[in-house]
Amino acid sequence: MKGHIQQRGKSSWRLKFDAGHDEKTGKRKTQFHTFRGTKRQAQVKLAELITSVAQAKYVEPHKITVAEWVRGRVDHWEAAGDISARTAERYRELAENQIVPHIGAKPLQKLRTIDIEEWHTTLRNSGRADGKGGLAPRTIGHAHRVLGKALRDAAKNELVIKNVVAGESAPKVDDEEMVIVRDVPAFIETMRGHRLFVPAMISLFTGMRIGEVLALRWGRVDLDRKVIEVREALEETKAHGVRFKAPKTRAGRRDITLPDVLTETLRDFRKQQLELRLKLGAGKLPENALLFAGVDGAMPSQKRCSKAWSDFSPEWGSTICATPTHPN
């Protein structure tokens, strides 16, 4: 494998070397690399480049930035059906708020493990989008995983030699960030009487995700058999609004046996809904009615429920999980 050095300035060199065959044409490729330093250093660099080609570790130079690559990959994952619209929306938020402002302008091929370490430190100390302090380790970890996923694709497509995110672990999530219900009876009494009491009970005793809980229809809740059939999930995004989607995997389509405490909670909840509908003259409860829709059919809102849960307080309103039929 051949190479050649040509001096272009006082300490500038043009390195020319054979980079193997073009996969499409079969012709040999010649690559050029500009190097600054002494002639001896240029010779060492040329030897490194030739060796990397021989070991199939050479990647052609390009000017794609971290921001361009991450944005493009999120678009691709969504278009390919690898992630849902809701997940894509969350990934874009992480990219625009946590990745792009700090390392987005850096060329993808010049990103190093030390940059990831410094990025984590910046996010921890001053990473909030509003400029008011740092981010929690959990949020940093989410951004870390999005960047890592994008760089795995870059390595797979031979745009970078390796995924430098893999060399730096995400910050450890502190115990206080972990939401664990240790005193179930106390938790139930704390929640009782609030709008999110029933959704919280379902999540607690079935392990269902919030999207699955909000997509539940009475036709999928068999209180006599004490079974919930999980067949769809609700997804809310800016691009598509509120819509329903089927589980991506067979494991997501499942039947869950209910404990007595949850069965009784759902019986009481159904009874309350029927009584309210009779008072309002709304008629019987349709079999395909959503458990958490408004009496007027207003769709449940995943975002408002998530916000209400994070802001848990006695002042929750009765419409916390329903969006208006005609939002302003």
Structure confidence at residue 319 (pLDDT)? 37
Distance (Å, whole) CA 216 – CA 91:
26
Number of H helices, E strands in the chain: 11, 8
Give the predicted TM-score (pTM) of the model: 0.60
Distance (Å, whole) CA 58 – CA 20:
10
Structure confidence at residue 1 (pLDDT)? 56
3-state secondary structure at position 306: helix
Structure confidence at residue 164 (pLDDT)? 93
Distance (Å, whole) CA 91 – CA 98:
10
Bridge partners of 50?
none
Q: Do the beta carbons of residue 266 and residue 221 sit within 8 Å?
A: yes
Distance (Å, whole) CA 265 – CA 259:
10
- Residue 203's φ and ψ, nearest 5 degrees, are -60, -45
Using one digit for the tens of pLDDT, what is the confidence trace for 128-150?
888 788 998 889 999 999 999 99
Structure confidence at residue 311 (pLDDT)? 65
Distance (Å, whole) CA 272 – CA 263:
14
Structure confidence at residue 6 (pLDDT)? 85
Structure confidence at residue 23 (pLDDT)? 66
Distance (Å, whole) CA 97 – CA 119:
13
Output the tens digit of pLDDT for each of the chain's 328 residues.
578 888 888 889 888 878 777 666 777 777 777 888 898 988 888 887 777 766 666 566 678 899 999 999 999 999 998 988 889 999 999 999 999 999 999 999 889 999 999 999 999 999 888 878 899 888 999 999 999 999 999 988 878 888 999 989 988 876 555 555 566 787 788 888 888 899 989 988 998 988 999 999 999 999 999 999 999 999 888 888 888 888 877 778 999 999 999 999 999 999 999 998 888 888 888 888 999 988 777 888 888 887 777 666 443 333 334 443 333 3
Nearest CA-CA partner of 90 in 235, 199, 226: 235
